[in-house]
């Protein structure tokens, strides 16, 4: 199991903290999921107050602050520095949005912000596309983790481009990779782990479900199943049938 800047996660599920019906349901969902990391935006912490931060600390999970909603390098860097002060961690999930409708990352500014933050001592988790060249640039900028999107944030579409995600896993075999955004169903999360990804980050699929606590439990089991399936070395898909019963020794009647 790969480590994230020297930290090995007990559970490869990273769970967001926004949009839950209530703080109590958020807490229950986290406990059911067994998630090892909570992603938290600086603005949410500011709005919810000390009680929210105390609840997150009581969960006993690692905190990954994010720069959600930032559209410029300056804005993202400033937000990251503020988050480090508030949450007392070098970790930062770097979001730098370039397209309003799809919330697609602005990969040009993303690389620049990653370079600046890395030089400032941050351990950057960049929310990026599934582009291999962008991945290379982020690693060259000092990132040790890549977080490609499965689909647009909150869309619930799953893994839109499996080919690209497979290519990224093959291109960067030693880099921790996290599917971030687009997960809507437990089957999506399981599939991400089956492809050999090291973790899944999701929020909306749990927080906006009819029963967030039950969905959190389902996601946890799906991720475990996908991880085990990958470790088991599954069979390759075939175009032709292959009998499961051997034909050797079978009697042939003329």
- 11 labelled as ligand-binding? no
Answer whether residue 246 is part of any domain: no
- If you ran DSSP here, which 8-state letter would residue 177 be given? B
Q: What is the pLDDT of residue 59?
A: 85
Predicted model pTM: 0.90
Of 2, 74, 90, 93, the active-site residue reads 93
Answer whether residue 187 is part of any domain: yes
Answer whether residue 147 is part of any domain: yes
Torsion region of 8: left, alpha or beta (phi above 0 gives left; psi -120 to 50 gives alpha):
beta
What's the domain count of the chain?
1
- If you ran DSSP here, which 8-state letter would residue 7 be given? B
| Alpha-carbon distances, residue 196 vs 52, 127, 135 (angstroms) | 34, 18, 17
Answer whether residue 243 is part of any domain: no
Answer whether residue 107 is part of any domain: yes
CATH code for position 192? 3.20.20.70
Answer whether residue 110 is part of any domain: yes
Q: Quick one: CA dihedral 238, 150, 155, 230, positive or negative?
A: positive
Only one residue has tokens 């020297």, namely 6
- 181 labelled as ligand-binding? yes
Distance CA 192, CA 252 (A): 46
Residue 227 near residue 10 (C-beta atoms within 8 A):
no
Q: What is the pLDDT of residue 209?
A: 96
Active site residue 250: no
Q: What is the pLDDT of residue 54?
A: 81
Q: To which H or E segment does residue 202 belong?
A: strand 199-202
Distance CA 20, CA 145 (A): 27
Domain that holds residue 173: 10-232
Token pair, residue 245, equals 């019963």
Answer whether residue 68 is part of any domain: yes
- 79 labelled as ligand-binding? no
- 170 labelled as ligand-binding? no
Residue ranges for the chain with pLDDT beneath 50: none
- 156 labelled as ligand-binding? no
Answer whether residue 73 is part of any domain: yes
Q: What is the pLDDT of residue 43?
A: 63
Q: What is the pLDDT of residue 60?
A: 86
Distance CA 123, CA 78 (A): 15
């Amino acid at each position: 199991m790969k480590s994230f800047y020297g930290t090995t996660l007990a559970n490869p599920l990273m769970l967001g903290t926004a949009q839950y019906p209530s703080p109590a349901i958020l807490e229950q969902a986290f406990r059911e999921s067994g998630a090892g990391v909570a992603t938290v935006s600086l603005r949410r912490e500011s709005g919810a107050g000390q009680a929210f931060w105390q609840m997150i600390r009581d969960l006993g999970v690692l905190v990954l602050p994010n720069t959600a909603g930032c559209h410029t390098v300056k804005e993202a860097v400033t937000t990251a520095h503020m988050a480090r002060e508030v949450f007392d961690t070098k970790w930062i999930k770097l979001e730098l949005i370039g397209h309003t409708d799809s919330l697609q990352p602005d990969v040009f500014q993303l690389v620049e912000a990653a370079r600046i933050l890395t030089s400032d001592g941050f351990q950057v988790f960049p929310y990026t596309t599934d582009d291999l060249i962008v991945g290379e640039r982020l690693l060259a900028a000092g990132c040790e983790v890549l977080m490609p999107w499965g689909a647009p944030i909150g869309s619930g579409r799953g893994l839109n481009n499996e080919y690209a995600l497979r290519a990224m896993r093959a291109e960067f075999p030693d880099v921790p990779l996290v599917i971030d955004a687009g997960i809507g169903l437990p089957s999506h999360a399981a599939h991400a782990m089956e492809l050999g990804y090291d973790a899944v980050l999701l929020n909306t699929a749990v927080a906006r479900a009819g029963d967030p606590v039950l969905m959190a439990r389902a996601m946890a089991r799906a991720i475990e199943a996908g991880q085990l399936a990958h470790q088991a070395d599954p069979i390759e898909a075939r175009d032709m049938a292959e009998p499961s019963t051997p034909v050797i020794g079978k009697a042939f009647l003329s």
